Amino acid sequence: MHSRAVRRRRPHRQLPPEGSLRLGGADPGDNSPTNLESSARGSHHPGGHMTTQPLLADLLRSGEWTGAEFKAARQGLPKSAFETVSAFANTRGGCLVLGVTQDGEQFEVSGVGEPDKVQNDFLSVLHADGKVSHDVDITEHRYQHDGKVALAFRIAENPRTRKPVYLDGDIRRTFLRKGGGDYRAQPHEIERMLRDQSADRWDGQPFTRVSLDEVFHSASLTWYRDRFHATNPGFDVEQPHHEFLHDWGYLVKESGAFLPTGASVALFGSLRGVRNLLPRPILDVQFLGYGSHDEMPETRWIDRLVSEVNIVETWQQLLAKYLFFMPKPFRDIDSETLERRDAPAGFRVFREAAMNLLIHQDYGDHSRKAVIQFFTDGIRFWNPGDSFGNETRLLEPGEKEVRNPAIAMGMRRIGMCEQAGTGLRMMRREWQAIGYAAPLYENDRVHKAFESFLPQLREVAVEVTPQVTPQVTPQVTPQVTPQVRRLLDAIEGEMRLADLMGGLGLTDRKHFRTQYWLPASEQGLIEMTLPDKPNSSKQRYRLTELGHFTRQRNQ
């Protein structure tokens, strides 16, 4: 608890943050009147800066939403004003405007009854110990219109280390701004803010639930070290694993014993280790047969990969299938390795987006998982955990504060992701270079999530032959032989073999099996209703979800 709960800022001493909502008006200490339109003149700031403030009239026309809250305050300061302070400070910041009422869908200045008293009451209560849990940065503005006074308070978003902002010493009185209202935060939302508040990062915490001799997946650790030594020559390749991990901070020593950190288990952990660390999947990959703005069909996805193994294994699974299913046009020969350079167009961008999911998600959140969705018009990446930084500066170079620094550095050391502060700019540059629109990003402060979208990929949904496995599935329409296409067109519901062959005009079972059934079955397009009893008299044959989708596409 801080002894001073408000940092009061005079408007002429601070330039509003880039991209933030700015209210114009005179300094509260200035007796000159300010009407609704006067702020269009702009105000001069020391150092030669000139700002043009948006008009209060613009806010009134736009109405209440995430960045503005209006209250009448005719008879004094409303108690709900402090809920708005908590909500804005915990979310994206915003403006609390007193002296405004709503008439239908219109907002108008009705005036504050005693503006000086209301302003002093508001600020003095915020100063009082016990009302607000953390310091809050507030800038005041005063407006006069037709002899009426409106008071505006610009409330800045608090940094993660000063969240949650709650009221009256009761953390249950934590509020968030959602749409045009202030809502009491749910327990899981408060827990996310408390995790982000901690100076001790999740991935640096010792892990004790599984013994050291069972906690690591040796193949993943070997894979990582092979790439580490190839990327960083000069280190001892014969160094024992435990010494290597200790040197790089993935093993910590407590009471004479080595303990793995959360980062080491997430990166290289055995299945037992990962499941005890994280009781939910690391990644959910969905291959969808419709566009991102289309109505969801009855069949939600064609196939799906849900990974519950460590980050290294998850990346290997995702990479293998991505490279198999995406078109790989031959370009040239690598002069050093003499191998074909035929990675899918935009692969570096996809890898960076996927790595961002694996590196930056909130692993302390046990109720949500990262999701990649392959639509016909783009790829969506959704991550549990928002970016700590200001989203208006995401594309700027320089170091950014990250949620899992040990995991991030581990992957950067082997060249699996771009250096800090360069990844999103590279993604935009390279995605546009191959002819697509710039990637889209949304940093959701309310739900503490980050989403990116690589748009305009509809043309990749062709010319791929899938290889279905229990772990992963295709995102695209497979190529089929003329015989398989005839078979798909002939199947209606569940059919007997004799009826199916009769519909195709076939009598030779061997020919049907080798030219029709086996190719379609191997591609995952058709299936038996009784797969455990292939010779049953009750056996029937039907299309799979992928089969329905492929037939629809081919038609």
What pLDDT does residue 315 have? 95
**pLDDT tens for each residue of 300-313:** 788 889 999 999 99
CB 349 within 8 A of CB 454: yes
Q: How far is CA 163 from CA 85, 166, 268, in A?
A: 12, 8, 32
Tokens encoding 190: 């408060």
pLDDT tens-digit map of 136-172: 999 888 888 888 999 999 998 888 888 899 999 999 9
Return the structure tokens found at 383: 């991550």
pLDDT band at residue 343 under the 50/70/90 scheme: low
- H/E element holding 440? strand 440-444
Nearest of 224, 205, 227 to residue 216 by alpha carbon: 224
Q: Which residue has the higher pLDDT, 131 or 25?
A: 131
Residues 6+ apart with CB under 8 A from 221: 241, 268
| Residue closest to 460 by CA, chosen among 305, 324, 325 | 325
Of 241, 300, 1, the closest CA to residue 131 belongs to 1
Checking if the pLDDT of 269 tops 90, the result is yes
Is pLDDT above 70 for 122? yes
Query: Of the ranges 13-22, 145-154, 447-456, which one carries the lowest mean pLDDT score?
Result: 13-22
Average model confidence (pLDDT) across the chain:
79
Q: Give the separation between CA 165 and CA 132, rounded to whole angstroms.
A: 7
Side-chain-facing half-sphere of 462: CA atoms under 13 Å: 4
Tell whether the model's pLDDT for residue 470 goes beyond 70: no
Task: Return d(Cα 544, Cα 555) in angstroms, integer.
Answer: 17
SS3 25: coil
Per the CB < 8 A criterion, the answer to whether 354 and 315 are in contact is yes
Mean pLDDT of all residues in 89-104:
88
> How large a percentage of the chain has pLDDT more than 70?
78
* Amino acid type, 123: L
Query: What stretch of H or E contains 519?
Result: helix 518-522
Q: How confident is the model at residue 478 (pLDDT cuts 50, 70, 90)?
A: low
Average pLDDT over residues 46-73: 63
Q: What is the pTM of this model?
A: 0.59
* Of 34-43, 388-397, 526-535, the least confident: 34-43
- DSSP letter, residue 177: E
Per residue in 289-316, is it b (16+ CB within 10 Å) or e — as a string?
bbeeeeeeeeeebbbebebbbbbbbbbb
Q: What proportion of the chain, given as a percentage, has pLDDT over 90?
A: 35
Residues paired with 143 in a beta bridge: 150
Q: Which two tokens stand for residue 306?
A: 């849900």
- The residue that leads in pLDDT, 275 or 462, is 275
Q: What is the DSSP track for 193-257?
A: HHHHH-SS-GGGSB--SS-TTTSB-HHHHHHHHHHHHHHSTTS-TTS-HHHHHHHTTSEEEETTE
Does residue 476 surpass a pLDDT of 50? Answer: no
Structure confidence at residue 63 as a pLDDT band (50, 70, 90): low
* Structural tokens at position 78: 């409303």
How far does CA 108 lie from the centroid of its chain? Answer: 38
Give dist(CA 38, CA 61) in Å, integer. Answer: 16
Which stretches of 68-192 are assigned E, i.e. beta strand? 68-71, 94-98, 100-103, 106-109, 137-145, 148-155, 166-167, 170-178, 181-184
Pairing mode of beta strands 137-145, 7-9: parallel
Q: Which two three-digit tokens encode residue 515?
A: 């030219």
Among the residue ranges 264-268, 353-357, 390-394, 510-514, the one predicted with the least confidence is 390-394
Give the CA distances from residue 325 to residues 328, 342, 343, in Å, rounded to whole numbers and listed in that order.
9, 13, 11
Q: Give 194-235 pLDDT, tens digit per residue.
A: 888 876 788 889 999 999 999 999 999 999 999 999 999 999
pLDDT band, very low/low/confident/very high, at 410 (cuts 50, 70, 90) = very high
d(CA 376, CA 362): 28
Domains and their CATH numbers in the chain = 7-193 (3.30.950.30), 202-277 (no CATH), 283-460 (3.30.565.60), 482-554 (1.10.10.10)
Model pLDDT, residue 349: 92
Burial 108-126 (b: 16+ CB within 10 A, else e): ebbbbeebeebbeebbebb
| Euclidean distance between CA atoms 113 and 73, whole angstroms | 7
Q: How many Å apart are CA 242 and CA 450, to the nearest integer? A: 35
Element (H, E) at 303: strand 303-307
* Average pLDDT rounded to a whole number, residues 440-447: 86
Residue 444 CA to residue 387 CA, distance in Å, equals: 8
Give the integer Cα–Cα distance in Å for 444 and 430.
25
Task: Output the DSSP codes for 342-410.
Answer: -PPTTHHHHHHHHHHHHHHS-TT-SS--EEEEEETTEEEEEEES--SS-GGGTTS-S----S-HHHHHH
